[in-house]
Chain A
Amino acid sequence: MPYGWGEHTGELELWVTASSEAGVFVEALGAMAELLGDEDGEPGVAAARSVAVEGADRARLLVGWLEELAFLAETEGFVPVRAEELQLLPGGLQARVAGFRGAPPHLVKAVTLHRLAFERCAEGWHARVVLDV
């Protein structure tokens, strides 16, 4: 499974495994799409957003990426569906995110540094991040 949810008493712990570093970011978007998608599954008007994020390392970049998606959901009702043209750069990333305007029911309020990890594994790359919900 490319992503999943670990047990955490109060919050949500997300883990992601992918064959490449960029794949981790793509799969993490899929996890956010699951959280932010409308409960009744009815997509709204199609939309897309350009996202640029900076981070001192890949772990911090992943936090910034998820923070940006949460911000767009909270302030614009933008529900991400897939990453297009995701490009990892030294110290940053640029992406075009396709999705729709909806009413995200279960917002991610913050992305924490607790137990944050982004490291190599047998399958490629593994990341872990705890979301405040």
Chain B
Amino acid sequence: MELRRVGELLWEAEPGERTDLRVPARVYADAELLEAIRDDDSLVQLQNVATLPGIVDAALAMPDIHAGYGFPVGAVAATELPDGVVSPGGVGYDINCGVRLLALPIAARELGKRKEKLVHEIARRAPAGAGREGGVALRGGQLDAVLRDGPRVLAERHGIGTPEDVAHTESEGRLEGADPREVSERARTRGSTQLGTMGSGNHFVELGRVERVLEPEAAADFGLREGQVTALIHSGSRGLGHQVCTDFVKRMDASLHRYGISLPDRQLSCAPASSPEGRAYLAAMAAAANFAWANRHALAHAVRQAVRTVLGASVAAGTAQVYDVAHNVAKPERHGGRDVLVHRKGATRAFPGQAVFIPGSMGTASWVLVGRPGAMEHSFGTVCHGAGRQLSRTAARKRIGGAELRAQLEAAGITVRCASNKGLAEEAPFAYKSVDRVVEVVERAGLAARVAELRPIGVVKG
């Protein structure tokens, strides 16, 4: 695909013979990242996004973009309300998959041999993998309450986490308009035993050390200092969110003709946000998003319990939540004088002054950023969400075995807990692009600034 440079770090995909694009498709990248991006179908998928009814300005991609299904991962699309479309695939199956960062009141050098015990204890208390059991059991109306109000229910009624944690969460862990009645029985069945479980794939809890601080003022605001131990939690809405997406992709696929919508990919199925299907999806998505925030809230509680067991009550009590950000969600926002629905699929909200967390890939750094005004001007207040895959899972497994990778990480001082060697190999660091380069592009583009670099010292993989 031909690309035209429209800014120092911004490229536009030429439409070629396509006549169905409503807006341009643009990607933030430097020359090296661009080569990796061109290796898969992600730019074609981004152009497909540019065909959605009601989309404004541009279909945007962050430098961590890679091929997904329907939307590429790392995409941002804003549709004008009230009648622009909402696309469940533009949010993704794992609704409100996101990242939460905890800061421990202890330096990494003080951990000593307790690091291994801490990683082990976190693995014991934060169930990974299939996750059919071991989480917070919800009975009767308790699930409805979580779907409606998110983690504050756990803090206020169940003694899980604190109100301060809720306050340090994007949207305070609660999207308006959540309606549990729009969440199917099948979704409830999948989610009812999964609250407080990590899940499989690329989900994790990573213990890190603040390697260096680049923006001291912002770091102080976030409660971070060099040498400090951190815990980064990556998970989402588990089976419940996947089922909500499944239900509504199916429902909207069946209603496309009613709204005269023609799409280049059925996975982009959508409906006007103001339509019965659109309103029902937004209500169910909000409920699933609230569930996801509650899930990370419960996982953070499990991490604090592990800290209490290994490091003592005062360290647990001093373990503060820096922030929690979503990277798979659609939110009504106002940009450029218009009310729009911003779809972020593998992309993070980055309003000015807001903390943003960009996980690396087990053996590499993760980054704490702070949103800049440029994000509001150029990317609907959005930045990247990670390093971005560059190798398929099969290709990663062909290059290294789980046992060998485990040994390499341990030799680098990273304690690893992962039940599946196969799953570990699929998430090998080389399967991802350079997170340092991705973050550098975002900073040079003026969307966010680097605040602190975190280096992994222990990983519990889903």
Residue in A12, A74, A110, A113 whose beta carbon sits within 8 Å of that of B130 in the complex: A74
Residues from chain B with Cβ under 8 Å of A110 in the complex: 93, 242, 245-246
Give the complex CA separation of A71 and B393 in angstroms: 22
Give the complex CA separation of A7 and B395 in angstroms: 8
B171 interfacial by beta-carbon distance below 8 Å: no
Known: A106-B423, A132-B69. Is A9-B391 also a contact (CB below 8 A)? Answer: yes
Known: A11-B69, A39-B420, A114-B70. Is A132-B393 also a contact (CB below 8 A)? Answer: no
B279 interfacial by beta-carbon distance below 8 Å: no
Say how far A115's CB is from chain B's closest CB, in angstroms.
8
Contact in complex: A74, B422 (CB < 8 Å): no
Contact in complex: B132, A74 (CB < 8 Å): yes
Contact in complex: A113, B269 (CB < 8 Å): yes
B200 interfacial by beta-carbon distance below 8 Å: yes
Give the complex CA separation of A38 and B17 in angstroms: 48
Residues from chain A with Cβ under 8 Å of B129 in the complex: 103, 105
Give the complex CA separation of A35 and B267 in angstroms: 23
Residues from chain B with Cβ under 8 Å of A107 in the complex: 130, 200
Say how far B293's CB is from chain A's closest CB, in angstroms.
19
What is the interface size of chain A, counting residues whose CB is below 8 A from a CB of the partner? 31
Residue in A7, A71, A74, A115 whose beta carbon sits within 8 Å of that of B392 in the complex: A7
Scan B228-264; emit 1 where CB is below 8 A from any A CB, else 0: 0000000000010010011001000110000000000
Say how far A133's CB is from chain B's closest CB, in angstroms.
6
Q: Give the residue name and chain of the B residue nearest to A12 (CB).
A: B393
Residue in A75, A109, A113, A132 whose beta carbon sits within 8 Å of that of B253 in the complex: A113
B: which residues have CB within 8 A of A? Answer: 40, 42, 66-70, 73, 89, 93-94, 129-130, 132, 186, 189-190, 200-201, 239, 242, 245-246, 249, 253-254, 265-267, 269, 389-395, 419-423
10 other A-B residue contacts (CB within 8 Å) besides A39-B422, A112-B249: A9-B389, A9-B390, A77-B132, A105-B200, A107-B200, A110-B246, A112-B267, A113-B267, A114-B266, A132-B69
A: which residues have CB within 8 A of B? Answer: 5, 7-12, 39, 56, 67, 71, 73-75, 77, 103-107, 109-116, 130, 132-133
